[in-house]
């Protein structure tokens, strides 16, 4: 498992493009036959991906310091590819594209598999520390009432689906997770932008056409930087950072948050006038 340390906003003022990418960008999440994980010291979130040709079991590495991966953690999983199954302590949860699964703290065995090994599922997941167990639950996108935001006039018409949230989908100890789908012809997410000092966030961009990119914007509001991102890449957003993006085509992304509270609306909105 790769470890990423926390970064001060004062330091990124001097970062090159390469250093920005080393610290925040997460690539190669969905390599066939592998589970890839990045452990961030920012609120100890783990972002990962599994693309199983054969069934693959999730292993706790030394980094976790526990007998098994979810001994003191919880996890949210969304399948963004062809159908597959996540087996949790012997119970099978079959996930089609866009189906999600919340996995309880204390679950011991977790195995990812695909319906068709030649066309494997694409499981993206976030995991964060937990101190209380909530039931494992399958979440269907069609059962979530989307929150429609933005407009074509502002190039930001999109729908937010909350998969793991105190008010929707599955309940959790601290993980909050969802999917935002841009309407065709819309490019911007999360603009006007915000920060939330109480939570960090990881964004995972997908459903981007080949050769399309998203300019992910981050940094303190008056000291922004960008990271050019391609399909199926993720980015770590510390709590002091804005997180917003503009694509050369419309796209979808999964956001996962953890930290002090779970209140989605507890954002510090950034007035457009102070952006630099
Ligand atoms: O498009 C959006 O706006 C979002 O998806 C917002 C993010 O989920 C977010 O930053 C929540 O804090
Ligand atoms: Zn946010």
Cα 59 to Cα 90, 136, 192, 274: the distances in Å are: 16, 19, 40, 45
Q: What are phi and psi of 207, to 5 degrees?
A: 60, 30
| DSSP 3-state of 139 | strand
Mean pLDDT over 188-216 rounds to 97
> Which ligand sits nearest to residue 264's alpha carbon?
1
Residue 27 domain boundaries: 2-274
Residue 246 has pLDDT above 90, yes or no: yes
Are the CB atoms for 245 and 193 separated by under 8 Å?
A: no
* CATH code where residue 20 lies: 2.60.120.10
Mutate which of 144, 190, 247, 265 to test ligand 1's pocket (most atoms within 8 Å of Cβ)? 190
When divided into structural domains, the chain yields a total of 1
pLDDT digits (tens, 9 = 90+) for 14-24: 999 999 999 99
**pLDDT tens column, 89-102:** 999 999 999 999 99
Check pLDDT > 90 for residue 247.
yes
Ligand 1 atom closest to the Cα of residue 191 is: 3
Q: Is the dihedral of CA 30, 205, 130, 91 positive or negative?
A: negative
Which of the ligands is closest to the CA of residue 256?
1
Q: What is the DSSP string of 143-192?
A: GS--EEE--GGGT--EEEEEEEETTEEB--SS-EEEEEEEPTT--EES-S
| Mode of pairing for the β-strands spanning 25-26 and 233-237 | antiparallel
How many CA atoms, within 13 angstroms, populate the side-chain half-sphere of residue 159?
Answer: 10
Question: Considering the entire predicted model, what is its pTM?
Answer: 0.97
Per-residue pLDDT of 137-179, as tens digits, reads 999 999 999 999 999 999 999 999 999 999 989 999 999 999 9
Tens digits of per-residue pLDDT, 48-78? 999 999 999 999 989 999 999 999 999 999 9
Residue 142, both tokens: 């069609």
Cβ(241)–Cβ(219) under 8 Å?
A: yes
Query: What's the pLDDT at 168?
Result: 87
Whether 275 and 226 have beta carbons less than 8 Å apart is answered as: no
Is the pLDDT at 237 greater than 90, yes or no? yes
CA 61 – ligand 1 centroid, Å? 31
Mean pLDDT of the chain: 97
Secondary structure of residue 103 in the 3-state scheme: strand
């Amino acid at each position: 498992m790769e470890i990423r340390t926390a970064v001060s906003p004062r330091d990124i003022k001097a970062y090159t493009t390469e250093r920005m990418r080393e610290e925040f960008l997460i690539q190669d999440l969905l390599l066939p036959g592998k589970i890839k994980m990045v452990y961030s010291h920012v609120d100890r979130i783990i972002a990962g991906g599994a693309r199983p040709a054969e069934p693959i079991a999730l292993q706790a590495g030394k980094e976790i310091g526990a007998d098994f991966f979810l001994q003191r953690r919880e996890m949210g999983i969304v399948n963004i590819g062809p159908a597959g199954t996540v087996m949790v302590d012997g119970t099978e949860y079959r996930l089609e594209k866009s189906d999600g699964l919340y996995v309880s703290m204390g679950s011991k065995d977790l195995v990812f598999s695909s319906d068709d090994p030649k066309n494997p599922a694409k499981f993206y997941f976030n995991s964060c520390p937990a101190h209380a167990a909530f039931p494992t639950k399958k979440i269907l996108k069609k059962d979530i009432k989307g929150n429609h935001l933005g407009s074509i006039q502002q190039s930001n018409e999109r729908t937010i689906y909350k998969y793991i949230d105190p008010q929707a989908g599955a309940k959790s100890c601290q993980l909050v997770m969802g999917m935002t789908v841009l309407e065709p012809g819309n490019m911007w997410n999360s603009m006007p932008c915000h920060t939330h000092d109480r939570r960090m966030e990881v964004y995972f961009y997908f459903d981007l056409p080949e050769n399309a990119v998203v300019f992910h914007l981050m940094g303190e509001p008056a000291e922004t930087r960008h990271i050019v991102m391609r399909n199926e890449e993720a980015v770590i957003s510390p709590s002091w950072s804005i997180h917003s993006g503009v694509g050369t085509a419309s796209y979808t992304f999964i956001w996962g948050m953890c930290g002090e509270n779970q209140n989605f609306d507890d954002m510090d909105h950034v007035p457009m006038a102070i952006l630099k």
